[in-house]
Every structure is written in structure tokens, then in C-alpha cells.
Structure 1
């Protein structure tokens, strides 16, 4: 899927339906895919598609932190140009089709269009949570600045997208003068779990390779690939003349270029055959299955691919429900810049996406994890100590027997190990996912008693936690080194919780 066409803001009737008066919004965590970008590799130059795209105006206004001779920090403004090795290794400047040299994008770089759509996502977020619901203040001051947190993967397009979304949520005119710069939390690539990380998780790489190979075996000689080769195979390179799931470029690489070109201007387009609806549908179908069907069939795949991230999201909701902090002491909104694989993996692991039917996530797609509380509930932490979980001698640890006190307790402790008296408290909180502004049903939460009366999209927090416990690793890095060399598929299909 390419550029997202966002729906109109919720009407008053929809707001009343989606946010029942019996529930009070407590916390929102947004996973947002980066905006439109260039292809990660230059492909199909034989069709006339230019390798260098002049869609990155930011290259004309780069800024870097530098140290002055007196030791003070300053900002250097500079302009980027990109060169390549030409004939006889003579360096040449990369240029667009019309000779542009000052706005040339790097492979996989967020484009001007991508900045516009992620800015618009931030503006839509402001419209809903500030203007319509009044959940966030309209003006950010030193106190409310602590209520919004930012996170991104180490990949620049994700970082730049979350920055653009933040500017849409709180433009300069809505931020108090003198506020310190916002903090964006990142990790090293070897510890990043904000997307399925094959590079850092050896066992997950094995699993992903096995499911990709199976998809290739299923489709390489099938009618879909025959049709695709008939339509676009003539543009495959001489070294790999037949388009396959695992050709060079791979079918997913073809999809990457098709979607990127669809999102941009007329000067960067493939031949019309690439955009025929059946061509796009067949490519999308096969690639979604290749990349995401493992989440539907293997608990180990879910656990190592996205379980740690889902565990993070759940942990923050449980901590909010149990820590007893007021809204001014804990965050209310988080924005996390991530990737298409993040969104699809999260939904598929929860059983809320069918990789045999659903589409690849759009540029600037998003999932909002909303935590709500039943109004008038005594489950609020207001009657408890403001000290959080697992911090020593707290109200939380006092709830456990003396035998259990020797074992550290945290929001990540599986619900099956909680005392029965505390499980009920989480039933006064509800979790709802909105994927591209559409409420999502998590299958595990469909039975009576696991959701808000009359609306299956609102999971009780205890049901949601029970679902995520089933594929949340206890030690992701350690488990990434387990089972190496063992078969990825044991002949049994392990469905997501509730399916």
C-alpha cells in the first residue's frame, strides 16, 4: 500500500460512539509509520526511472551541532550534494531528471511528501486529542511538556517522521517560549525492538528466512507469478530475468519501488503496467504473506519479532493503572516513529490482521493504543502510594504473600502470577486500538467479560495483558540466541491468542 488517504475527522456522533461517556481517556501511545520515502535501492533504471529523486528540500537547509572555539555549542547551516563515481572513477554530482543537484534524496530517505503527511498526522492527532476531546492542553508549557514523550528507531526517516508529527501536534505557536528542546529516545540497532529486528536477533532471522522460503516455494511457479512476469517481467535485469518471490530484485523490492513511485511526482514513474490493479494486488498479497504470515502461525515468531515492543506498550498501561500517579506526573501521549513492519507485525501478533487477506500498511499509517478507565472506579491508583511497581517496599509488593515477596514483581509479570485480588482492578481499565482511525477488535477480547459492555473494541486491561503475556519474551536478547538451527515450523500452527 502507498499513500494513506485519511478519513475525515470524527463527527460528534462518532465521538460519542467511540468515546463512551462511561469511560475516561487516560493514556495514548501512537506507533506511526514514517512518511513517503525514496526506494531503498535504485531499481528498474532500464524503464527510464531515474535513480536520483529531487524530492528532499531539507538537503538545501541541513543543520548540525558544532563547537565554537570558546567551547560553546552552535549550529552550522549547510547544504548537501551527493556524488557518485562515474566513468573511469571520475566523481560526478548526482542530479535529477531536470538537472537538480541541491535536493537529491538518499536511498530510503523521507521526502518532502513524507514530511507533509507526517505533519498532517500530527495535526489530525491534535484535532482529536486537543480540540475535540480536550485530553491534551492546547498550549504546551513546562508541565505539559512532560506529558508527551517521543521515541524513534535509529533509521533517520523514522526519527524525522516523529519530529514532523510532533510539530503537527504542538506547532511553535502552541509551545511556550523558552521550553527546552523535546527529547527523542532512541536505541542502538542491536537493542532495537521498535520493529522486527532480523539484524540483531539471529533466531528471528532464521524464522523469517524459513517463512520467506516457504512463500517462494508456494508462489514461484503459481499463476500469480506467471501473470506478473507476463506484465512486468520484461523489465527484470539480465542477471535475474524471471520475477520471483526471491529473485533479484525480490518481489518485495519491486513492491517497494512501485509504492514509492506511486507516492511521488510524474518524473519518477514506472511504465503503466506496474500500476495495473491486479499487478499491485498480486504483489501485495504475496509480500504480506511472505513477511507476516509467521505471526499467525508461530508463537516464537510473534515473541521474537514484535513481542518485546508489545510488552513495552502493555507495561506502560499497567504501570499507569497501578502506580497511582496523577496525570501531571506521568505521560499522557507518546509518539513512536517506526516502520510498516512494526504496524503489520503488531496487528498480526494480536490476531487483528489476517496476512492472507489484509493489505500492506500505508506510508504514515498509525496505530493508537488508548487506555481508558471506567468513571467513578475505585481502581484508580489515587488510593495507593505514588511509588511505582518493583521499587522495593511499596503498596504493590505488600499485596503478595511472604513467599512471593522474594520474587521481583513488575508490570511485565505475567497475569497468571498476579494475586486474584489485583486482577479485578485491571478490569476497570480498557485498551482500544485504532488503526488509521478505525477501531480494531482484538480476538482474545471478544468473549463476554473481556470487553466493555456492548463494544468489543474495548478490551479490559487484564484481558489485553493476558493476550500479550502469551508472546512477550522474558529476555529478548537471550531468547534471540536460543533454538538456533532448529526447524522454524514443527508442523503445528500456533494461532495468535483468541483465534
Structure 2
């Protein structure tokens, strides 16, 4: 689980007031997305209590009939002929599913956000109000369940919700989703393919070393092995997060070497290519900026926007801001964008009507338990006059992200000869 934002961390100058909160997070702990390393860990983990209720609701053809709940058990056929199907107990996990651990970590993140932004700062309403919140999620069960846990399990627990509470989550067609580097962008695929060749060359010796150290468990380790370096790391990280012991020979050195190669596999293109950053996560950067612009202009009453995504959401976003620490974003990681205005500020429309001067706005970014100082905000004129370099002027922040946002994503995504 990622380190939670500090409940008492962050200095809030007396002359500023918080006006907008945006939270981008990775989903909570999940099972591996495929069956791997079964000589080390069970293929099925009984850590998903929600499965006892999945697909259990039957809607009758008779509209007057009530919904029925039919107990469900999974029978999984074994590959060998004549082998009896294996009966999975209630609570058995599907591949890539949010687990009990993941649900708890997302509820804990929501609870910490409540401590900071409701109990301490009195910014968000004490009781859930759907008119103050918007939620976006990728079209994956684990991301939608994660944000459900964040909001209904921690930020607004049952005693802080009305009886008619409904959590509205917006999703997009995966073909057009902008919350991860979308493979439907052909130019992005082209850039990533070129990047993989470089990564293979950069880490050819490390691949040999990892293959030797992990030969008891896999035939080889590379970007294209079966399982791949990413698949191996994903399974080991997920297993460790759920309390499984790793063999002594899979030590921190092995895990860090796997992490190094997987980071370059997924993020090297974005780290070295401005074009890749634009096409990969630039549209989400634009959405985050635009919500701030709307709030500063006084045309959006929402106080909180939540974006529920993946490691491939968080990593590229940190890269675009120039603050990536070259570590894989842990489960339930969060990037928090705070927009402030000087107290007594008039919204832009009232300023224009009455000829009053619009006061400055500031942006601060948190990543897990860290308050970040964006590289583009270090000049004296680009941060708050009190010297706090984490309080970026809104103008400086807009300059940082301006070139990260594609003007026409579909056109820029065409193959280049």
C-alpha cells in the first residue's frame, strides 16, 4: 500500500483558501492479471469476499417480482483430461480483481482525505453532496470498485451519506479513454516499439543476470519472455502485498533489478520523448488543467474531481510534471492537485462586471505522503511570495502543462514514416 498523505502535513498560508481538489489514484491491491509462478503461489487467492455476491442477482421476467439472490459457486475445469473440476470457495478471486486488502487500502485513503479536507480544512461538505463531486474511472472493475471504496468506505462512510445515496461514476469507451497511454494511438505504439529496442540494449546484461538468478522459477527474463519481466514483477509484488512469503533468493536486489527494467519497459518512451508524453497522458493533463481554469473563472461549482486509474496513469502523470522518482507507483498511490486563491478573491465574472482586479491562484501537488516542488515553479516569480516552492503560481503551472496537451490527439496519433 502507498504511504498516505499526512493528516497534519502541508502548511496552508493564512492569505490563501482552497477552492478545488483533484485526486488521481491507482486502484488498490489486486490479484495478478494472469496465472503465473504457480510453483510459488496458489493460482486462486481466497481474498475477495465481494465475489460471494457477484452475479447473484436475478431479475425476473415478471416486473412485479422482487430481485432474487442465487448463491454462486465457480467450477474450474482442469487442463488434464478426466480431472474433476475444482470447486472454488466463496471469496475466490478472479484475475486482476480488487481484493479485501485493496478494498481496505482504498477505504484508508478515503478516510485520510476526510481527515484533511473535511475535518481539518472544512473544505468538503461533512455529508456527501453529489453536486460537489465528479468521479471518473477507467472501464475496469477494479478501478470502479476502488473509487467506490474510497468514497463510500472512507471519505463518506455510511453515517455521512443520505439513504438515497447513489455513487455516479463516469467511464469512457476504452478506445477513446485518456486515463492511460491508449494503445489505439498508432503513433504512440510506434514510439513505444522503438523504445523497447533501446531498453533491450540498455539492460541486456541485467536480463542475463536476472535469468540466472530466477532460473529455478522461469526459463528466462526479458521484455518478451513468458512470463515477461513485467509479469514476474507484477506477480511477486502482488503476492508480497497480500502476505505471501517470497523465497530467500528473491531478495530486495532481485526485486529492484526487476523494477528497474520494468520501469524502462513501460515509461522510458515518456521519460525521453515529449511527443510520447503528449500522446500518452497529455489529454488527462489537459482535463486536470481545464478544471482549474473553470474554477478560477468561477464557472464550475464542483469542489472535488476524482480520477480512478492505474500505475500507467500515475507514472506518466508524474513524468509529465517532472517529478517521477523512477519507482513503480504502489497500489493505491494518489496524486492530489490543490488549487488555492487569495482570500477575498472575486471570481472572474464578477471582476469583469465590477472592474475589480482578479487575485492570483496557486497550485500545489502531493504524491502519496510527499508535497512536491515542481521544477517549473522554482524561480522566485513562479511560486508564492512566502518562499514556499510547492505553491506554484497558476500561471507557472499552466506553462508547465501547456506543451504536454495535444491540440488534436487523433491527428497526432497517425503513423509517421
TM-score where L is the length of structure 2: 0.92
Q: Does 1:273 align with 2:249?
A: yes
- Report the counterpart of residue 294 of structure 2 in structure 1: 319
Distance 1:38 1:288 in 2: 20
Q: Does 1:59 align with 2:34?
A: no
Distance 1:163 1:362 in 2: 19
Distance 1:74 1:485 in 2: 57
1:202 alignment partner, one of 186, 202, 216: 186
* Distance change (3 Å), C-alpha of 1:467 and 1:48: closer
Matched ranges for 1:22-37 at <5 A: 22-37=15-30
How far is 1:90 from its partner?
5.9
Uncovered stretches (5+) of structure 2, i.e. residues with no partner: none
How far is 1:465 from its partner?
1.4
Distance 1:189 1:92 in 2: 37
Q: Is contact 1:62–1:78 with CA below 8 Å preserved after alignment?
A: no
- Report the counterpart of residue 410 of structure 1 in structure 2: none
- Report the counterpart of residue 157 of structure 2 in structure 1: 171
Q: Is contact 2:25–2:307 with CA below 8 Å preserved after alignment?
A: yes
1:360 alignment partner, one of 300, 324, 328: 328
Distance 1:228 1:63 in 2: 42
- Report the counterpart of residue 7 of structure 2 in structure 1: 9
Give a deviation string over 1:463-488, Cα, whole Å, max 9, x none: 211221102012223322x2x154xx
Matched ranges for 1:367-382 at <5 A: 367-378=335-346, 380-382=348-350
Equivalenced residues, count: 415
Q: Does 1:334 align with 2:305?
A: yes
How far is 1:4 from its partner?
2.1
Q: Does 1:301 align with 2:234?
A: no
Give a deviation string over 1:13-54, Cα, whole Å, max 9, x none: x44x2x111111001110110000111111122x34221111
**What secondary structure, in the 3-state scheme, does the structure 1 residue paired with 2:147 have?**
helix
Distance 2:403 2:45 in 1: 44
Q: Which structure's relative contact order is higher, taking Cα pairs within 8 Å and 6+ residues apart? A: 2
1:188 alignment partner, one of 168, 173, 186: 173
Q: Is contact 1:28–1:370 with CA below 8 Å preserved after alignment?
A: yes
Matched ranges for 1:62-461 at <5 A: 62=54, 67-71=59-63, 75-87=67-79, 93-94=85-86, 100-140=88-128, 144-167=129-152, 168-179=154-165, 181-198=166-183, 200-220=184-204, 222=205, 224-236=206-218, 241-266=219-244, 269-274=245-250, 276-324=251-299, 330-354=301-325, 358-378=326-346, 380-384=348-352, 428-453=360-385, 454-461=387-394
* Distance change (3 Å), C-alpha of 1:191 and 1:78: farther
* Aligned CA-pair RMSD: 2.5
How far is 1:114 from its partner?
0.5
* Distance change (3 Å), C-alpha of 1:244 and 1:316: same
Q: Is contact 1:153–1:192 with CA below 8 Å preserved after alignment?
A: yes
